[in-house]
Structure 1
Amino acid sequence: MSVPVFSRDAVLEAVSPQDAYAAVRNAFIAHHRGEWVMQPKIYVTNYPAGDFRAMPAIGGGHALLKWVTSFPGNPALGLPTVTGLVVLSNSETGQLEAVLDAASVTALRTAAAAVLAADTLGVENGPSVAVVGCGVNGAETVRMLVAHGRTPVVWDADEARRRFVADQFGAEVAGSLDEALARDAVVTVTPGRDVLFSEGSLRPGQHVSLMGADGPGKAEIATRELGRARLFCDDWEQASHGGELAAGVAAGLLARDDVTELGAVLAGAAEGRADGEDVTLFDSTGLAIQDLAIARAALLRSVEMDLPRLEL
């Protein structure tokens, strides 16, 4: 038995930004309807260095396990922050079907979720959009936006990195962090060590996709600022324990009824933005069902590609 092995470049070749967007959208809906199932991610920690995460999911005839890391200090050592593998199996027979690079799968589904949330919850008629954080996931978000006909402004604490990403994808560099944070729609993809939106900083009509704070102790927005917005998340169980919302829950500022899952909005079972003055926040913790969506999309293209194979 042999199975295809997808490197980083192979994943990105197999799954276009448009395909990733559609696949992740369908996964959100399937998860809301109970057709795709997952457990909250399991953290194996080695703080302050970083953590390992195990993420299982099943749906659409396949089962998946992602073993992935987050080590924020790695870039200073010349190493990537995120590494790992995605293993895709047939859910009817248990047979292994593909092995994929986890970082590229993560980048694609993170970008897709960020842009999908902005499209669904942001104001209409193509608002101005910014991406703050130009690491691997932030860069993929810029690529996703450009592929969907948007020209974002970008910001990163590293000037060379923000200029490189802007030049690579045809985006624009913001004049300052404050300029980027003032856009109609903002996607934050930072390590989550520093609060970007302080108390009172959100403005009427703004949408923010908070993609960076996906673990304990991370935050891209002040906790009390959560009370000024309509709140959405990818999955309540995960977000209430390990996302931006966790601090609000711990402080007694919000509960389950205060937060709507994006899948419910996409399925037509819940309301998104009510009017142009709403402030909407999407808290993303990253879901295994999103990884499953990307892995399935890649598998569909495997027969057309000359991929190395793992002999079992």
Structure 2
Amino acid sequence: MIIVPEKEIGALLGRKESYEAIEQVFAAMASGNAYNFPVVREAIGHADALYGFKGGFDQAGMTLGLKAGGYWPNNLETHGLINHQSTVFLFDPDTGRVKAVVGGNLLTALRTAAASSVSINYLARKDAKVIGMVGAGHQAKFQLRAALEQRNFEKVIGWNLHPEMLPNLEEVAAEAGLPFEAVELSGMTEADVIITITSSFAPTLMSDHVSDGTHIACMGTDTIGKQEVGVDLIARASVFADEIAQSITLGECQHAIANGSKAEADIRQVGEVINSTHQGRTSDDEVTLFDGTGVGLQDLAVASAVVDLAVEQGIAIKVDF
């Protein structure tokens, strides 16, 4: 069995490798060569934590496994740890024996950012110049860094419920040599691409905050009851998802499905666009939206990539098990 500790992952896996792994697994999902298992996600009744499992099997990449972990909202304040904690377990699909154990915290941040980055590459207008961020927490910095690589952006704008966190976005914009402006939600109409990355249970970004031709990547809704954008925006947009089943049950589309403003048949997998079996954006005026719920196969894809890199570079810890 191979162990790749959390502390080693930052030196092994970057945005490029993460993007390639997520692009490939989305394509495999859309072609029917990879599938996710049902998600288990529960409040454990201790430390206000949500804990669960996401897993799947990618027959194209021969990757089998699961990610175990969740969200401990008091970690940072109480323990000096990030609130999201997880570990990925990979198994040999031929024998069922455990193959690897990989730290999952940085991997989760990288794969989530890579997913929105893939959606921007395939769905945003080619001439997109302004990127808007709704949310400015820990994950927002990963999102923005990855997104800025997909278009020749000239400006970053941002909104956060707690404005004191907006310097996180300004820092990343400065790294890229771009100006940053804090705006009200109504100011998001300036954006050509918008990423929402919050843990909200009530919508903040509404349809009238979004201009025609915008691409929105909704990355924060992964639990029943969560909601970042209004159902009016979902109804208006052409919607693509990482996985449709999750999108309609625990993703951003759950609310539009519930009130009948969107039908399951209206939602397509982003992997179809990658595979060229769906054309994706059809005009410069079309509003496109990616519902990134976060699927287990994403975690397995980046974990498998980091295991290969760890073995190649002699960093992998090998133990008998």
Could you tell me the TM-score, scaled by structure 1's length?
0.90
Helix, strand or coil at the partner of 1:134: coil
**Aligned residue for 1:128?**
130
- Are 2:181 and 1:174 equivalent residues in the alignment? yes
Helix, strand or coil at the partner of 2:100: strand
- What is the CA–CA distance in structure 1 between the aligned matches of 2:242 and 2:119, rounded to whole Å? 9
Q: 1:20-62 CA deviation, whole Å, 9 max, x = no partner?
A: 1111111011111121121132112247924112011112222
Contact 1:153/1:180 (<8 A) preserved: no
Contact 2:157/2:183 (<8 A) preserved: no
Helix, strand or coil at the partner of 1:281: strand
**Aligned residue for 2:227?**
219
Q: Name whichever of 135-144 and 176-185 sits farther off.
A: 176-185
- Are 2:315 and 1:306 equivalent residues in the alignment? yes
Helix, strand or coil at the partner of 2:203: coil
- What is the CA–CA distance in structure 2 between the aligned matches of 1:55 and 1:263, rounded to whole Å? 19
Unaligned runs of 5+ in 1: none
Choose from 92, 112, 120 the match for 1:110.
Answer: 112
Q: 1:141 to 1:286 in 2, by over 3 A?
A: same
Choose from 258, 267, 272 the match for 1:264.
Answer: 272
**Aligned residue for 1:17?**
15
Deviation of 1:137 after TM superposition, in Å, equals 2.2
Mapping 1:124-203, distance limit 5 Å = 124-148=126-150, 150-151=152-153, 153=156, 155=158, 156=160, 157=162, 158-167=165-174, 172-178=179-185, 179-180=187-188, 182-203=190-211
Deviation of 1:172 after TM superposition, in Å, equals 4.1
Q: 1:21 to 1:177 in 2, by over 3 A?
A: farther
Contact 1:69/1:82 (<8 A) preserved: yes
**Aligned residue for 1:52?**
51
**Aligned residue for 1:253?**
261
Contact 1:20/1:108 (<8 A) preserved: yes
**Aligned residue for 2:303?**
295
Q: Name whichever of 90-99 and 58-67 sits farther off.
A: 90-99
Contact 1:133/1:154 (<8 A) preserved: no
Q: 1:267-308 CA deviation, whole Å, 9 max, x = no partner?
A: 112231110000111111101111111011111111204344
Q: 1:64-88 CA deviation, whole Å, 9 max, x = no partner?
A: 1101202345444444221011011
Contact 1:134/1:154 (<8 A) preserved: no
Length, aligned pairs only: 310
- What is the CA–CA distance in structure 1 between the aligned matches of 2:120 and 2:304, rounded to whole Å? 24
**Aligned residue for 1:5?**
4
Unaligned runs of 5+ in 2: none
- The one-letter code matched in structure 2 to 1:237 is A
Identity %: 25
Task: Please report the RMSD computed on the Cα atoms of aligned residues, expressed in angstroms.
Answer: 2.4
